[in-house]
Amino acid sequence: MVNSSHEAMHRIFQEDPGIFTRTFRTLGIPFPDTVDVSVLTTDLTETQPLERRLDTLLRVETADGRPYLLAVESQGKKDPSKPSSWTYYLAHLNAKYGIAPVLLVVCQDEATALWAARPIRIGPPEWASLTVRPLVLGPHNVPAVTDPSVAARDVPLATFSAITHGKDPNAPAILEALATALKTLDEETAVIFGELTELGLGTSPAAQIWRDLMAVDLSFFRSESSQRLRAEGRAEGKAEAVVQVLEQRGITVSGEISARIRECTDPGALDRYLTLALSASSATDLFQQN
């Protein structure tokens, strides 16, 4: 069972390793097609007492017969100690397995992503003996999937989009698209990606939006006879999400404003409220900008 937002992001690569190739092709980096993937131990500890562990390590077999190691690291903030650790990881993996390693760093904010993407040069400035170039995924280059039909065609990528864009103003639309896409899956698979999304969002305001969207059983959503109740339930869930997001951000919500939000049944208006709630300085801003 996944038990942390840190683990959720790289677990997506274990659920669907092919997402790596698909994502980077959209960025113009043509990695070869994946034909097989095996999970390797993440323990890189040597005989010394110092313990070193990756988040995820995969051996990727490719269609052109050139396997590589995919080392995945989740990075929540800038950490001056990481560049030396990443350099060690890659050198150790290359020596241990004799296979070319690729370091993938996953971030949830652009500042951390841009920091992590900088080349790491080991040696004097006149002549770097070793250069490490991490591949980085974050809100700056992962597409924001807001179209339910696009999300349904690639649910793992849509899940990854939701997690990396969890702090963006577009988060409600991305989560809505993913929630709709999950209804096209079997229940077991939908639960896996639904849980990964919630854990990956951590304690961000978007996490509450996602919990409210998932409050109704996915199998219930697939029942044609429940369409009317489904619409009513989603409206109630969205209204509750608006109020909770405001309150979690420390914004006072009066009884009058709370009632106005909860009585709203217009899906479009509720979507606007959700988006505005992520950045509003007061509860009344929701209505002033309509």
Per-residue pLDDT of the chain (290 residues; tens, 9 = 90+): 444 555 555 566 666 766 767 776 766 776 777 767 666 666 655 544 444 567 778 888 888 888 999 888 888 889 999 999 999 999 999 999 999 999 988 888 889 999 999 999 988 888 888 899 999 988 988 889 999 999 999 888 898 899 888 888 888 999 999 999 988 887 777 877 888 788 778 777 888 888 888 876 554 444 443 455 455 656 777 788 888 888 877 888 888 888 898 888 888 888 888 878 877 888 888 887 54
Residue pair 158/145 in contact by the 8 Å Cβ criterion: yes
Provide the 3-class DSSP secondary structure of residue 36: strand
Cα(48)–Cα(268) distance, rounded to whole angstroms?
Answer: 59
Chain-centroid distance, C-alpha 196: 8
Place of tokens 């006072």: 252
pTM for this one? 0.58
